[in-house]
A and B are shown apart, each in its own frame.
Chain A
Amino acid sequence: MDKEKRQILICRGTGCESAKSPEIQKALEDQLEGTDVEVKFTGCHGMCQQGPIVIIEPEDVFYAKVKPRDVAKIVDQHIGEEKTVEKLVYQDPTTKKRISTYHDIPFYSRQKRLVLRNCGQINPEKIEDSLEAGVYQGLEKALGMSPVDIVSEVKESGLRGRGGGGFSTGMKWGFCQTAAGKPKYVLCNADEGDPGAFMDRSVLEGDPHSVLEGMIIAGFAIGAEQGYIYCRAEYPLAIKRLQIAIDQARENGFLGKKILGSKFSFDIEIFHGAGAFVCGEETALITSIEGNRGMPRSRPPYPANEGLYGKPTLLNNVKTYTNIPLIITNGSGWFSDIGTEKSKGTAVFALTGKIANSGLIEVPMGVTLREIIYDIGGGVLNGKKFKAVQTGGPSGGCLPESLLDIPVDYDSLIEAGSMMGSGGMVVMDEDTCMVDVARYFLDFTEKESCGKCVPCRVGTKQMLTILEDIVEGRGRPGDIERLEEIAWGVKLGSLCGLGQTAPNPVLTTIRYFRDEYEAHIYNHSCPAKQCKEFITFHILDSCVGCGLCRKNCPVEAISGEQKELHTLDQDICIQCGVCYEVCPPKVFSIEIRTGEERPVKEAA
């Protein structure tokens, strides 16, 4: 790539698109028509909160939160006068310092981007960009190797499945390669159902050709001719870009008959998932493609021997496939030098929740949770106190401050009661109620439980009922012990990963935040002041009588003359919290208290 070339990169991931980045691209193109400045759009940069993001090369200048009306300024001042537009430069939310160059921003400078190598760098809808970035070079090399050598290379790299389970990818490939039966299938699991995670979406939207390349190599290695990508229908942009990439790959001879002049033929189709979390489980996903209710079945037989239509089937996650071309191109030794002894390579996380820098990050395995949250994430949002970090989505757990120094790898997280999962990492602060978080996850898994096996179907329902009782003020002594007993029953007795891991949010919140459960049950209070049953709103004497809360209160519980102290009638208040939200930050006269007596309301 010509390093000196003037180009403007506009992020068009789902986040930035929602903030009008296509309009910005159009305006830039219009205003720079006839100049030698290249305007191109890219996939996600991972810092969606700062979007839309515009990067100007070769200077590496990073403009954040750009609006369509800022385009003229960028064109006149930056391109015209060669002067950086200071007010658009990224501002660190914690230090308030402005940092103009992309690679100096702490959020990026501490990352190691392998899976995300091309995201935000290339135009995902132009195969030329991908080729220039080196995509399909791994495939070319692989076609010159023997399938057995490819599998042993993947084995030696130490790569483990990035969907969360962490099984050795090379071993899985080996099983499929030696499995008897034809045809064989290669499946890509892009059914990213974990709420709070969007790693796979960003890769599919930002670098679809690398995913295809990994799948094609897998097809060659195990002897398959057909691949399917199972992608959630909730990701329309990812599906669109994947389809464009597949068409381009066919036109350029990377897919179809006799790929790159070899004897190997392979093609890929997209299957639109119809919205069922359990379909992230491999046997459920396969059953779903076959046209059934997506329910898992017991293993063995494993899909490697009896998968799609009863044939040998290889199933890996999006990020697993994206790693493959790097391993083939650079060798297994290069890859296994990154990470820890048992967890090689990098981990991609969607860092979200109450965090200063929310976004998509990639770090070498083995860094600590503290480094991720404080050095990359910039700490907790608005200077609040850290309470917990949740990894692994509904299958994972909530870890407290005391565990922030454990290294991030498959085994340490499982030991702590959580799991790597596919990469969601949600930060929670002092305002997050841990009992409510457990209730939230159980509400999710209870709805998503397919109902096939009893422990999961009945157990999640019972746990949810107890948790609802606790947060709604009906908790009874013994509830915590009852929850623990059911949780272990579900964990040990369920058929698939969904049920086996569904109790993790309950067990970890009890293990690390038992005092919050006790406060709800015995003291009728919610330490985080979130559960409506246990809180009351109060107007402090510092109220200036601006009237905002009075006007916004949906039940007219607030009264008072303009510019005079307002009062709140506890008999009418429904604890909706609007007053707390609209009270001007400078005044901040609404206080939430917990554990106070509340007037008893008649049932509606």
Chain B
Amino acid sequence: MESSLETIFSNYEGKRENIIPILQKVQEEYTYLPDDMMAEIAKYTRVPASDIYGVATFYAQFRFTPTGKNIVSVCRGTACHVRGAPRIFEEVINQVGLEDEGTTEDMEYTVETVACVGCCALAPVMTINEEVHGDLTKQKVRKLIQAKGEENG
């Protein structure tokens, strides 16, 4: 664990302007930002940990809890909204057994909404592990989630 943090640090100078790129790299590696790493980043950049948390909590990209094996992001862009994104979101959380955005207890799925994937012509859209699925209906969502479930055994 320590060593990969050192590898990340070795690519950046310990300066304030590198906080966001470092946070992004850490999250890429661990899927979230663990508390102990935040303290290390604070030490390395010589910026107070409270300040690092301040930056990290400001941006939608950063998470503070581990994610499930599959990340389902439902687009809530305007084009998706008028073409039924709220209903798609409802179906996704129903299918994986969540009440709202979040991670399932078995750590299989993390469901989140994103501002816009930029595939508005295919609305409504969601991504499963960065793969884009468009022209969704409730039925299509059900099939996609069930297929993921089988794939994961």
A residues near B, CB below 8 A?
14-15, 17-19, 47-49, 51, 192-198, 201, 233-236, 271-272, 274-277, 288-295, 350, 352-354, 358-360, 390, 393, 424, 426, 428, 432, 437, 440-441, 444, 448, 450, 552, 554, 576-578, 581-582
Q: Which one of B21, B60, B78, B134 has the greatest number of beta carbons of chain A within 10 Å?
A: B78
A575 to chain B, nearest CB (A): 11
In the docked arrangement, what's the CA distance between A204 and B118, Å?
A: 12
Asked if residues B78 and A390 are in contact (CB atoms below 8 Å), the reply is yes
Asked if residues B87 and A576 are in contact (CB atoms below 8 Å), the reply is yes
B19 to chain A, nearest CB (A): 4
A-B contacts, 29 of them at CB < 8 A, read: A14-B117, A14-B118, A14-B119, A19-B134, A49-B121, A193-B115, A195-B81, A196-B79, A196-B120, A198-B119, A201-B118, A233-B24, A235-B118, A271-B20, A272-B20, A274-B20, A274-B60, A276-B59, A288-B20, A290-B17, A291-B19, A294-B59, A295-B58, A352-B120, A353-B79, A353-B82, A353-B123, A581-B137, A581-B138
Shortest Cβ distance from A358 into B: residue:
B121
Stretch among B3-11, B102-110, B125-133, B143-151 lining the A interface: B125-133
Shortest Cβ distance from B117 into A: residue:
A234
A101 to chain B, nearest CB (A): 21
Given contacts A274-B59, A581-B138, contact A49 B116 (CB under 8 A): no
Residues of chain A with a CB closer than 8 A to B153's CB: none
- Taking the complex as formed, is B65 at the interface, i.e. its CB lies under 8 A from any CB of chain A? no
Residues of chain B with a CB closer than 8 A to A236's CB: 130
A190 to chain B, nearest CB (A): 11
Asked if residues A274 and B61 are in contact (CB atoms below 8 Å), the reply is yes
Residues of chain B with a CB closer than 8 A to A390's CB: 78
Asked if residues A291 and B90 are in contact (CB atoms below 8 Å), the reply is no
Asked if residues B59 and A275 are in contact (CB atoms below 8 Å), the reply is yes
Residues of chain B with a CB closer than 8 A to A552's CB: 139
Shortest Cβ distance from B54 into A: residue:
A293
- Taking the complex as formed, is B55 at the interface, i.e. its CB lies under 8 A from any CB of chain A? yes
Shortest Cβ distance from A278 into B: residue:
B58
Asked if residues B133 and A234 are in contact (CB atoms below 8 Å), the reply is no
B3 to chain A, nearest CB (A): 24
B71 to chain A, nearest CB (A): 13
Asked if residues A444 and B115 are in contact (CB atoms below 8 Å), the reply is yes
Asked if residues B58 and A353 are in contact (CB atoms below 8 Å), the reply is no
Checking A51, A272, A276, A440 against B60 with a beta-carbon cut-off of 8 angstroms, the contacting residue is A276
In the docked arrangement, what's the CA distance between A49 and B62, Å?
A: 31
B residues near A, CB below 8 A?
15-21, 23-24, 47, 54-55, 58-62, 76-83, 87, 90, 94, 114-123, 130-134, 137-139
Asked if residues A275 and B82 are in contact (CB atoms below 8 Å), the reply is no
Given contacts A272-B21, A274-B20, A291-B18, contact A426 B78 (CB under 8 A): yes
Checking A51, A201, A354, A450 against B82 with a beta-carbon cut-off of 8 angstroms, the contacting residue is A354
Asked if residues B82 and A428 are in contact (CB atoms below 8 Å), the reply is yes
Q: Given A234-B114, A291-B16, A359-B121, list of 9 further CB < 8 A pairs?
A: A14-B119, A18-B134, A201-B118, A272-B20, A272-B21, A274-B62, A353-B123, A581-B137, A581-B139
A450 to chain B, nearest CB (A): 8
Q: Which one of A47, A192, A291, A577 has the greatest number of beta carbons of chain B within 10 Å?
A: A291
Residues of chain A with a CB closer than 8 A to B114's CB: 234
Asked if residues A276 and B121 are in contact (CB atoms below 8 Å), the reply is no
Given contacts A291-B16, A444-B115, A582-B139, contact A47 B121 (CB under 8 A): yes
Residues of chain A with a CB closer than 8 A to B55's CB: 291-293
Q: Which one of B54, B121, B137 has the greatest number of beta carbons of chain A within 10 Å?
A: B121
Shortest Cβ distance from B16 into A: residue:
A291
Asked if residues A48 and B121 are in contact (CB atoms below 8 Å), the reply is yes
A240 to chain B, nearest CB (A): 12
Asked if residues B17 and A437 are in contact (CB atoms below 8 Å), the reply is no
In the docked arrangement, what's the CA distance between A291 and B18, Å?
A: 6
Asked if residues B24 and A274 are in contact (CB atoms below 8 Å), the reply is yes
Asked if residues B82 and A198 are in contact (CB atoms below 8 Å), the reply is no
Shortest Cβ distance from B21 into A: residue:
A272
Residues of chain B with a CB closer than 8 A to A441's CB: 78
A361 to chain B, nearest CB (A): 11
Asked if residues B116 and A196 are in contact (CB atoms below 8 Å), the reply is yes
Shortest Cβ distance from A201 into B: residue:
B118
Residues of chain A with a CB closer than 8 A to B61's CB: 233, 274-275
B62 to chain A, nearest CB (A): 7
Asked if residues B83 and A196 are in contact (CB atoms below 8 Å), the reply is no
In the docked arrangement, what's the CA distance between A399 and B130, Å?
A: 34
Q: Which one of A17, A196, A277, A393 has the greatest number of beta carbons of chain B within 10 Å?
A: A196
